[in-house]
């Protein structure tokens, strides 16, 4: 039985969709509190004015609609890509990285308005409940969190629709007719698809599901070349045109989507313990990862690269599991950011039918690539090949000792 303890004000992460509209009314009815709505524009590609109008029609007096696209890319996406983060070797963490930003602003609005609680629409089975709440507790340790999906009995779409009808909550026609046969979540980094017909990991989704990438088969027959300029590990220009972080990612999404880049279909391990099948479109992020690794390949020391690669899976798990504001992630970010001081230069890429190929990388000030030493032609004494004999023998010493021991035992 839910404990509807006394709450004066609650800040709700509100999209204006079926779930959060029902939650808004449910909070008003069951907690008897004032509900403040917060709607974040993180590049989901939807108009936010309808959410504002809907909240106002439901009696909400304090409505916050904020454009967070630049903050999202500058302070969350770019730092993550400095680490080359991939969860379980494939997932570019598009949903995961958006949640701490939303949690941060939920808490900020709660402080500004004197609210004593926050609320979200994440279910009790997913990762997002963990990400929202770990973020909120890290920033406002005594905040009360209300998660209706863990309290109410409206555990199906039909029950949500019935509740909406009973309380006069307007429902989008498509939602009433069933809408898409899966759920979607979008932001400037990606679109995710899960649930519904995708719950069968053997089901191949129809090509019409994908929203921002063309099929590689239908992509242009001619490749497109682009050049990215990096400063301290971040993209600052595309084809020599300087762009803000959000505009750079928007342009990379357009370019990647046009060439069928960035589709992913995988079964992942949720933090709560179950496996989940998800499909993702991350065109700009796919290009960013390839280009960033290319830029690092000529500007970072071998062992620094190896250390980053060793730490990357752990860093990715921190983000996936909701520990963006944890001391260990912050400490690791400082190490990663320090490594990026020399990651400056340009990378040229060829985009073609779902693939990203690095064709050029250069750094005028920070390249560690020495052509005189690397050449297979005459290096004029820059490298003494005879030195390799001692190097190999020393590295083989333990192997030779073990081999001699085995020989004695025979």
388-404: per-residue pLDDT in tens? 999 999 999 999 999 99
Q: Are 265 and 282 in contact (CB under 8 A)?
A: no
Give long-range contacts, CB 8 A cutoff, 24+ apart: 110-114.
110/9, 110/11, 110/140, 110/143, 111/140, 113/9, 113/11, 113/36, 113/62, 114/8, 114/9
As given in the structure block, the two tokens for residue 376 are: 């297979």
Q: 47 falls in which pLDDT band (50, 70, 90)?
A: confident
Listed in sequence order, the residues at least 6 apart from 159 whose beta carbon sits closer than 8 Å to its beta carbon are 153
CA distance 388 to 375: 16
CA distance 120 to 129: 8
Q: How confident is the model over 266-281, as a mean pLDDT?
A: 97
CA distance 294 to 273: 35
Q: How confident is the model over 116-122, as a mean pLDDT?
A: 97
Residue linked to tokens 């400037």: 188
341-361: per-residue pLDDT in tens? 999 999 999 999 999 999 999
Residue-averaged pLDDT of the chain: 95
217-228: per-residue pLDDT in tens? 999 999 999 999
Listed in sequence order, the residues at least 6 apart from 186 whose beta carbon sits closer than 8 Å to its beta carbon are 43, 44, 45, 46, 192, 211
pLDDT value at 40 more than 90: yes
3-state secondary structure (DSSP) of residue 200: coil
pLDDT value at 280 more than 90: yes
What single DSSP character describes residue 159?
Answer: H
Q: Which domains does the chain have, with CATH numbers?
A: 9-71+93-181 (3.40.50.620), 186-362 (3.90.1260.10)
Q: 192 falls in which pLDDT band (50, 70, 90)?
A: very high
Q: 1 falls in which pLDDT band (50, 70, 90)?
A: very low
Residue linked to tokens 């025979």: 410
Active site residues per annotation: 19, 99, 128, 183
CA distance 22 to 30: 12
Which pTM was predicted? 0.95
* 10 φ, ψ (degrees, to nearest 5): -130, 135
């Amino acid at each position: 039985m839910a404990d509807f303890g006394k709450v004066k004000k609650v800040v709700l992460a509100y999209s204006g969709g079926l779930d959060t509209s029902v939650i808004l009314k449910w909070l008003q009815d069951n907690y008897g509190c004032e509900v403040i709505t917060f709607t974040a524009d993180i590049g989901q590609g939807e108009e936010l004015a309808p959410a504002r109008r809907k909240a106002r029609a439901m009696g909400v007096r304090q409505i916050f609609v904020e454009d967070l696209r630049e903050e999202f890319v500058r302070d969350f996406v770019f730092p993550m890509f400095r680490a080359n983060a991939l969860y379980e070797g494939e997932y570019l963490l598009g949903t995961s990285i958006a949640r701490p930003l939303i949690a941060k602003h939920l808490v900020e609005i709660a402080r500004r308005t004197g609210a004593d609680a926050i609320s979200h629409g994440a279910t009790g089975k997913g990762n997002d409940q963990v990400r929202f709440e770990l973020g909120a507790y890290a920033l406002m340790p005594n905040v009360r969190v209300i998660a209706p999906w863990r309290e109410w009995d409206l555990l199906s779409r039909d029950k949500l629709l019935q509740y909406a009808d009973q309380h006069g909550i307007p429902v989008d026609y498509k939602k009433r007719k069933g809408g898409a046969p899966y759920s979607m979540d979008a932001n400037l980094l990606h679109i995710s698809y899960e649930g519904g017909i995708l719950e069968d990991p053997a089901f191949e989704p129809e090509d019409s599901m994908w929203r921002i990438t063309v099929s590689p088969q239908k992509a242009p027959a001619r490749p497109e070349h682009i050049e990215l300029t990096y400063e301290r590990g971040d993209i600052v220009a595309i084809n020599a045109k300087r762009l803000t972080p959000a505009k750079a990612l928007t342009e990379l999404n357009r370019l990647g989507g046009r060439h069928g880049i960035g589709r992913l279909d995988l079964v992942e391990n949720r933090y709560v313990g179950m496996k989940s099948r998800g499909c993702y479109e991350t065109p700009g992020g796919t290009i960013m990862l390839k280009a960033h690794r290319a830029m690092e390949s000529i500007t970072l020391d071998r062992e620094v690269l190896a250390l980053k690669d060793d730490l990357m899976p752990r860093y990715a798990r921190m983000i996936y599991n909701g520990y963006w504001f944890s001391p260990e992630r912050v400490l690791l970010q400082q190490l990663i950011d320090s490594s990026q001081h020399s990651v400056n230069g340009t990378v040229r890429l060829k985009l073609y039918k779902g693939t990203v190929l690095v064709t050029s990388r250069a750094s005028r000030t920070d390249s560690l690539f020495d052509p005189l030493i690397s050449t297979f032609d005459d290096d004029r004494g820059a490298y003494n090949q005879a030195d390799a004999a001692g190097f190999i023998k020393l590295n083989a010493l333990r192997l030779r000792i073990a081999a001699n021991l085995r020989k004695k035992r025979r």
